[in-house]
């Protein structure tokens, strides 16, 4: 991983994004992506009864594309909805229904987003959010029911996600939020530690499986 400790989150983020870009061209990358998508599919099949709406993302900067897997899930039964995030000026995300042929509009960051003014694509409060990570970490604390693991996301640094999640969890405490990334993106405490305003993930999906 090179010398990444002691650096600022900004430098760490740049290093991690550079590694991901480099790995995306490697021979083993496709197999690793396939493993993650298989794990995602397994999770969706098992969570069948609890999930009606899933928010995902349009991949940028060599992120894993979950859309074909999610579209297959949505098409297998009626009443299943997919949604994409729209970044508001106040740095919160809203989620709007998304279908395969929808025309998306690039945001100021170049992320393809749904049109919030499309009357046929209402805003939704998803049951599950799949969110890409730049890096991730895990911590444990001792609770009343024994040792509890927490997963944390290092993102792009805008804070959109933490604000959104804090807000959504108030209204929907059983919201399931799953980070999506690779084993090699796991960071130790020397490299990075989550801050008090960071919202924990409920689970982390990598090629090793669904960690929760």
**What's the CA dihedral at 183, 188, 191, 192 to 10 degrees?**
90
Helix (H, G, I), strand (E, B) or coil at 146: strand
State both tokens at 210. 């669904």
The token duo for 15 is 């290093």
Where is the binding site for substrate, in residues? Answer: 63
Q: What's the rounded Cα separation, in Å, for the pair 6 and 73?
A: 42
Instruction: Say how far apart CA 131 and CA 94 lie, in whole Å.
Output: 14
Binding residues, by number, are 63
N-term to C-term CA, the chain = 25
């Amino acid at each position: 991983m090179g010398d990444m400790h002691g650096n600022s989150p900004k430098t760490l983020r740049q290093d991690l994004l550079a590694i991901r870009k480099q790995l995306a061209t490697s021979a083993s990358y496709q197999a690793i992506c396939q493993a993650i998508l298989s794990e995602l599919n397994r999770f969706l099949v098992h969570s069948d009864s609890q999930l009606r709406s899933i928010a995902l993302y349009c991949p940028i900067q060599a992120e894993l594309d979950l859309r074909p897997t999610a579209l297959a899930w949505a098409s297998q039964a009626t009443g299943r909805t997919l949604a994409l995030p729209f970044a508001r000026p106040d740095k919160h995300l809203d989620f709007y229904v998304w279908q395969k042929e929808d025309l998306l509009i690039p945001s100021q960051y170049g992320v393809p987003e749904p049109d919030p003014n499309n009357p046929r694509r209402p805003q939704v409060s998803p049951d599950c959010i799949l969110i890409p990570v730049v890096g991730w970490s895990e911590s444990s604390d001792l609770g009343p029911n024994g040792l509890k693991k927490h997963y944390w996301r290092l993102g792009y640094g805008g804070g959109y996600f933490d604000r959104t999640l804090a807000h959504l969890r108030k209204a929907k405490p059983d919201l399931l939020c799953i980070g999506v990334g690779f084993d090699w993106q796991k960071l130790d405490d020397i490299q990075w530690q989550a801050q008090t305003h960071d919202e924990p993930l409920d689970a982390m999906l990598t090629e090793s499986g669904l960690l929760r």
